[in-house]
Amino acid sequence: MRAMRALVAPLAADRVLLQKESVAYYESVGDFVVAERDGEMLGCGAVHVLWEDLAEIRTLAVAKAALGQGIGSRILERLVERAHELGVERLFCLTFETEFFGRHGFAPIEGQAVEPEVYAELLRSYDEGVAEFLDLERVKPNTLGNTRMLRVL
């Protein structure tokens, strides 16, 4: 967990990723996959289920020294596999990296991507990722400039 936080910290400082408290990493440890070489953390990412057919790709990060080596793509491919294993049909992400996610089948979305009944249920969540997916006004300062993207599996 410490290595993941250290990997994410500079990206959070640059406001590319959201900074999370340590407890959030521990609570979601089962969502994560990591890439490492010789004990060094090269990248990480998570797939977090939001609803029965919907999950979010979260905290996809690659160490600066490992950029351009395909590590982010391999992490994302593994996360997509995990989503398939979980029976998820759609993947959401909130990102500045629209070209990267576009190459992997994600497309920008506008408005709501769920039915009104599901929207009403998701409003009850305390999860910030759900609030970002729903494009709620209270998360706008954290999401400014990011693009909401979706991939149908």
Cα–Cα distance, 54 to 56 (Å, whole number)? 7
As given in the structure block, the two tokens for residue 97 are: 């990296």
Q: Where are the alpha helices (DSSP H) in 1-127?
A: 2-13, 22-27, 71-85, 98-103, 116-122
pLDDT-flagged residues of the chain (< 70): 140-145
pLDDT at 72: 97
Domain with 136 in it: 1-152
Quick one: how far is CA 145 from the chain centroid? 16
Domain count, the chain: 1
pLDDT at 142: 61
pTM: 0.87
Cα–Cα distance, 21 to 27 (Å, whole number)? 10
Cβ atoms of 41 and 3 within 8 Å: the answer is yes
What is the CATH number for 71? 3.40.630.30
Cα–Cα distance, 130 to 50 (Å, whole number)? 7
